[in-house]
Structure 1
């Protein structure tokens, strides 16, 4: 007895009918071996022919079907009867006079463009493949194979792509991860018959990459929508290297996670592949659109929820994408900061390097909050500053001003960020301790400054090299005019040194504007009038003498000094719709007959009342008037100055002292100066009858609370920044030259522990030698250039190692020197010595500072060095993708110049 026939699949029957009709067979009926049952519509229309499908369990039923056939209609008989059971009379009416079989492989050949042969390995996969290819054929048909043989991979790839609703090219780790994010497509796949699901899964897990195994396991276990979150956790549970407590926690987590993969024991290779594919999905999705960012964050949060469910939240710090990982890294960094904050007077070197390492892990997190990362960077800078030994108290007011410009102003910039803090309480506590330590040293500096300020003001001594606010017109602006250059004087009301460091970086970043300084030395500063308020200091600036008054007094004095000049206050700068500057302002800037255009920009001063100046980054983006004015002043020398600086409100740390007036940071000298105050009197005191009490402690105020204050004797208020800019020509002003890197070494250079580094218990070594006290008898801004040593010279470049000495003495080096544009051997030695000392890398700022190159020229100098050392097209010097780090290939340098390694 023959085995019972299988049920006929409608798609298979239709395919068989198509093949039958394509044969041109004249018979009106065809009998197919199948169970005599038909669940679909009895009448089909195939290629324009009406075909009736009739189940025929008996010969009588077959005979009736043939008898009842309508004209023009063909009949398909579904029967389990044999030829002999039907008899010759019925067979004579059937196609090929026999009962024909529905061979699924014949149908497969037909559906794939009539291929002549099938890959034997495809047939061995099982009949389910042929049935699935027949049942799930797309409306447009299967793609024809490139040859005459249908291969196993062609057939299974086509089937898998159709059932998963993916392009064939995306049947890999990445494509499957993307597919898993679509619950609808997963549901369609898992609803298929078990043999089909199992067969397609087996194919994918053998060809689509190692991640396909856990992906398909999770899908079949009902957790397919969590594939991406599970993948993000997989890298933490199957790390490349792990030991100790973390390994125990990971092992427990792996056990708890396995049920989500249907009990599959994932291999480390599969876990790593899944993790990489999941992270890649996050990066792609975040970059795709705003909606993509939302979807990615949903997956990240889901991963964190699963981590909590299986008890592995302690491992999330190892993740580079999970938000909780960033928080854990930031907390670990905060722990390093807290341990580094000195109990005594300085931070040990080892503690600084630990904090730097912890910062690197924070910066490496892909979901890092840029603002919080920047605050962490500022915290590390402050630790490096605390590591340096504090200088003795300055002997002169000029020294104190320069300390504010060249060091403490940068400290102020960093501590404003740290003061603004972090939303995480654990991180906030570390920043609070750090800020307190920084404040202790800064308060000493502020007190020293205030004492020198009071003494110099009372003594009425000649300023010498010290530049005062009433001297700016005579000693800075007028000499530029005398040399035939027009000037744009920008007065940024309320800008202190900290804000100026940010603005200078913003303005000079593109290279359009170049900062120049006297003799190319370090920046200097300007001393404000007292008290340090707009009424006194700005009026004194624009009058050229100590006085007080408002805008009308300023306009009158400025017009008297330069009848052809223009002084513009806020209202004069405003324009109508569509214009950033008033047309009259643009005309004045462009007018060659107007020697000086001065503009008062109140953006920073306004922020002291209405917003938070401590968290604003002061650049061209936030002070738009500066950008607009610079864009129209390319042929003018720009003198950028202020009238006073400011301090920010200290919130609950503020100390409110009684005063007879309503001023915030100064009071009349009606009584002696108290704690945190200093009595100041003399001709430079423009208010209070020439005698006032000024607070030097930043947290002290007398008047109502605001976002920020000015008027006192703290150097953050009393020292005015001075920036002189030219449009790319650093020789535009005689006696001035391209400025060196302005930032101090502790600001830009990570601290490295070296042989001979003092122990944690020993006081740290000084980073640079102290220079003798500057004489104040010389005038820094006299028309004739005066050679004055800067308060602090740049640190000397590291001594040229033997490798550099050998290079400079080599024949090949001598051959490559360009006599037309020589790069001095001393400069080459300084550049290479810096790179070698930095582990074959250094930032552009470091190279400029160590080699004595003006900041705006270092890129060109490095380019010249690269050309000098590049032999036969092989670059010894390259630039890191960050655009600011220079890299040295030491091995290639030795090879190219035939140097003996030392």
Structure 2
């Protein structure tokens, strides 16, 4: 009785016949055990020989096939008959005189170059492997195994690579994710029999990890091209530590997503693996160039589309890469800002701290828009400023001027960004409320400044330590010349304190130029002539006395003051094709006989008429003449000043007052001053016959609308910044030394929340997950650097930890007697780090330890060497390049400090 057998696969028959023909068997007929069915062409051409395949249900059919055989033709008989059923007469004509079996593993050995043996674990995987290796054998054959034994890993890796059209080296998580983006390469796998597809998936789980399960399930369900978008959503639907409402929404989303995985219900490890692999793909693809960026954005948009289809758009805020997630985070931040804006008085530290925390979440988003992110940072800075006490009014005009230079100019810089606002109405409303609160305090300051200015001007008060614009040549430039140093005087028309803070950062960023301040103390400023217009204040600056006039008057007065000097206006700086500066300008800068070169740069003042001064970041890239002049002035001391500052147009908030003149921010004193104005008179008033009315409120103007204005009594107009720069020598001038960090504490340091935690406070609904990746470049989608993940709060240090360190024997051994760091400096630096939760920015360390800004990097390097016992990193610099981290536990261990 015959035993039922399977249908012979054409490839298996071909391989078996190839092996038979290679045996040098004299027989011309071979019988193979198989169901007598042959669905394809009966004649095969194998190695140049004609082979006919004949299904034989009975011995009679086998005899007929032998009888009909053409000379020279080989026969393959497919039959379920046994040797006894065929009989000796037929067996005599057959190869080996018997019906031969198609052993799939024999074929596998043949396909892999005739290996001598098979890994037993390969055979135990199942018959499907042998059949698949036969059926899907590539035209150029399977790659030979490294030894005589065909191992399971080699066979399955070769089979999987062939079925996925993927190099064997890429059979990992990242390779599978990349493969999923190509629909053409998925077609073979999507049509595989279930046993083969299951087996290949099982192998991929062993090699690529749990990520293989959802990827292959999505491919088999016909959603393979959506693997990356699905992975981006997986991190939102399998969250860790979610609140109840978010968990309910995620559970609904998981159910709706299951059909896209063919009904597979992912477990958390699989979802997490898919999420990490998808985000890693986004980072790599974005970094690959413009085409990659476009492809990544397509996937991100597709993920958001799927989120809308399954109703989980409310969860996108937890995503660190989806653009909608950034907007949701920004809106949550705006809510925190709105709650932190004080109704009056001082912002509450707890509310400001919550806004700071919300900002950190916004910063962690890899698709954050740089401009909007920077505006959010400015908002937090302004909240911190509002969270600090306002203090008593300044007693003198010098005090008011220094408040503008050291505090309010930084406020102006931040509020310009807030005024420019955000495109999203919800965020814009929060910024509007914040700007209103900032303006309320700044308005008080402006009025205080204007009152002091009017009193001092009319009283003809002696300047004392106050530096006036007409004094700059005698009190700043001449003392430099007296020390046998040449000067480049840069006059940036229209530059206020806010713009100067940006310019100073731009110039000193590389360390080529260092900023000097009076005796190494805080920055000072200069008081403009009145009204604060170019005709009065710039002419007074370049004349060395209160005067009014235009370029010719300036040139004449400057030449009288410095006969060997050179004054260059805009036209003189222009050059022909190929040159940044006119050759005569370069000659003047390089001429030892020209002690002073003064250059007037009008970029900022021009922007008040034709550009957007409120949103421009003023630096060497936006004021190109500055960089060009500095490049040729390395042996000169550079003094940067302006003639006046400016205020920006307030749009619908502007107040237009009547005036008999056409000036925008001053008018003759023919009518009394109103509530927003002040009358100034005296010898420092260069126009209006020595008496004019100046507005102190920034919203006020008299003339036609422009982008910005100047002429009034607001400190943003009347206070001139003063920057002193040298090329790498902080001891270049007597009376001047390396400047400290210029920014105020609230600009760079988080405001501590001293309030106890609320018992009703709920935790964040989820913590955004970050893929384990090599360090990314400064940004994704040309973004700013992603802040390092915050460490958990450290264990409080014993109060005498620093003292114990300084007294330890190992510390004494490590101190370099040739260039020791002062004990008090070490104590200050470590104390700052410990007080800041073992972290502090370089600027904060410099400010707290009293170190000049340009020396802090070298000081921290010296401290790292001092504390780095046996190479252990007690002190490290975060990837942002500006945050120092102290490993407190390692410090205690390496210096054998006992917690007391």
User: Is the TM value for this pair above 0.5?
Assistant: yes
Partner of 2:864: 866
1:756-809 CA distances to partner (integer Å, 9 max, x unpaired)?
9999xxxxxxxxxxxxxxxxxxxxxxxxxxxxxxxxxxxxxxx99422223333
TM-score (normalizing by structure 1): 0.91
Contact 1:800 1:829 in 2 (8 A): no
* Cα distance in 2 for residues equivalent to 1:544 and 1:269: 75
Partner of 1:473: 473
1:120-269 correspondence runs (5 A): 120-205=120-205, 207-269=207-269
1:327-346 correspondence runs (5 A): 327-346=327-346
Partner of 1:835: 833
Contact 2:3 2:80 in 1 (8 A): no
**1:262–1:686: structure 2 CA closer, same or farther, 3 Å change rule?**
same
Partner of 2:886: 888
- Quote the offset at 1:311 in angstroms: 2.3
1:462-502 CA distances to partner (integer Å, 9 max, x unpaired)?
21111111111111111111111111111111111001101
Partner of 2:311: 311
1:205-228 CA distances to partner (integer Å, 9 max, x unpaired)?
455312222222222222222222
* Cα distance in 1 for residues equivalent to 2:548 and 2:45: 101
* Unaligned segments of structure 1, at least 5 residues: 760-798
SS at match of 2:870: coil
- Quote the offset at 1:154 in angstroms: 2.3
- Quote the offset at 1:407 in angstroms: 0.1
- Quote the offset at 1:577 in angstroms: 2.9
Partner of 1:897: 895
* Cα distance in 2 for residues equivalent to 1:228 and 1:811: 57
SS at match of 1:638: strand
SS at match of 2:871: coil
SS at match of 1:467: coil
* Cα distance in 2 for residues equivalent to 1:49 and 1:722: 96
- Quote the offset at 1:658 in angstroms: 1.7
**1:128–1:590: structure 2 CA closer, same or farther, 3 Å change rule?**
same
* Cα distance in 2 for residues equivalent to 1:819 and 1:36: 96
- Quote the offset at 1:17 in angstroms: 2.6
1:699-714 correspondence runs (5 A): 699-714=699-714
**1:153–1:873: structure 2 CA closer, same or farther, 3 Å change rule?**
closer
Partner of 2:777: none
1:384-443 CA distances to partner (integer Å, 9 max, x unpaired)?
111111121111111111000000000000101111111111111111000000000000
* Cα distance in 2 for residues equivalent to 1:716 and 1:276: 49
SS at match of 2:743: coil
Question: Does residue 830 of structure 2 align to residue 815 of structure 1?
Answer: no
Partner of 2:686: 686
Question: Does residue 525 of structure 2 align to residue 525 of structure 1?
Answer: yes
1:313-353 CA distances to partner (integer Å, 9 max, x unpaired)?
22222221122221111111111111111112110111111
Contact 2:2 2:80 in 1 (8 A): no
1:845-871 CA distances to partner (integer Å, 9 max, x unpaired)?
111111111111111122222233333
Contact 2:798 2:899 in 1 (8 A): no
Partner of 1:111: 111
* Cα distance in 1 for residues equivalent to 2:167 and 2:537: 71
* Cα distance in 2 for residues equivalent to 1:379 and 1:34: 80
1:718-797 correspondence runs (5 A): 718-754=718-754
Contact 2:2 2:81 in 1 (8 A): no
Contact 2:524 2:721 in 1 (8 A): yes
**1:199–1:832: structure 2 CA closer, same or farther, 3 Å change rule?**
closer
SS at match of 1:99: strand
Partner of 1:498: 498
Contact 2:29 2:74 in 1 (8 A): yes
- Quote the offset at 1:448 in angstroms: 0.8
* Cα distance in 2 for residues equivalent to 1:805 and 1:200: 63
- Quote the offset at 1:110 in angstroms: 0.6
Question: Does residue 322 of structure 2 align to residue 299 of structure 1?
Answer: no
* Cα distance in 2 for residues equivalent to 1:709 and 1:63: 110
Contact 1:333 1:362 in 2 (8 A): yes
Partner of 1:9: 9
* Cα distance in 1 for residues equivalent to 2:195 and 2:851: 74
Partner of 1:361: 361
Partner of 1:624: 624
* Cα distance in 1 for residues equivalent to 2:805 and 2:394: 43
SS at match of 1:872: helix
- Quote the offset at 1:621 in angstroms: 1.7
SS at match of 2:384: helix
Q: What RMSD in Å do the two structures reach over aligned CA positions?
A: 2.4
SS at match of 2:617: coil
**1:682–1:359: structure 2 CA closer, same or farther, 3 Å change rule?**
same
Partner of 2:581: 581
SS at match of 1:640: strand
**1:828–1:203: structure 2 CA closer, same or farther, 3 Å change rule?**
closer
* Cα distance in 1 for residues equivalent to 2:576 and 2:50: 78
Contact 2:229 2:299 in 1 (8 A): yes
Partner of 1:395: 395
SS at match of 1:100: strand
1:336-735 correspondence runs (5 A): 336-735=336-735
* Cα distance in 2 for residues equivalent to 1:502 and 1:85: 99
**1:587–1:239: structure 2 CA closer, same or farther, 3 Å change rule?**
same
1:12-48 CA distances to partner (integer Å, 9 max, x unpaired)?
2322232122222343443434445544445544334
* Cα distance in 2 for residues equivalent to 1:583 and 1:30: 96
The more displaced of 181-190 and 418-427 is 181-190
The more displaced of 402-411 and 26-35 is 26-35
* Cα distance in 2 for residues equivalent to 1:285 and 1:645: 45
Contact 2:494 2:644 in 1 (8 A): yes
SS at match of 2:485: coil
Contact 1:341 1:433 in 2 (8 A): yes
SS at match of 2:722: strand
* Cα distance in 2 for residues equivalent to 1:235 and 1:393: 53
1:84-95 correspondence runs (5 A): 91-95=91-95
* Cα distance in 2 for residues equivalent to 1:90 and 1:560: 128
Contact 1:800 1:830 in 2 (8 A): no
- Quote the offset at 1:86 in angstroms: 5.5
The more displaced of 422-431 and 457-466 is 457-466
**1:706–1:70: structure 2 CA closer, same or farther, 3 Å change rule?**
farther
Partner of 1:879: 877
The more displaced of 721-730 and 57-66 is 57-66
* Cα distance in 2 for residues equivalent to 1:12 and 1:846: 75
The more displaced of 885-894 and 849-858 is 885-894
Contact 1:42 1:52 in 2 (8 A): yes
- Quote the offset at 1:516 in angstroms: 0.2
1:140-187 CA distances to partner (integer Å, 9 max, x unpaired)?
211222232223332222212211112223323332222222222223
Contact 1:800 1:833 in 2 (8 A): no
SS at match of 1:554: helix
Partner of 1:844: 842
1:89-133 CA distances to partner (integer Å, 9 max, x unpaired)?
655454333333322211111111212222333333332221211
* Cα distance in 1 for residues equivalent to 2:553 and 2:89: 125
1:266-281 correspondence runs (5 A): 266-281=266-281
Contact 1:317 1:329 in 2 (8 A): yes
SS at match of 1:410: helix
- Quote the offset at 1:193 in angstroms: 3.0
TM-score (normalizing by structure 2): 0.91
**1:26–1:689: structure 2 CA closer, same or farther, 3 Å change rule?**
farther
The more displaced of 203-212 and 46-55 is 46-55
* Cα distance in 2 for residues equivalent to 1:859 and 1:203: 52
Q: 1:855 aligns with which of 810, 829, 853?
A: 853
* Cα distance in 1 for residues equivalent to 2:818 and 2:298: 62
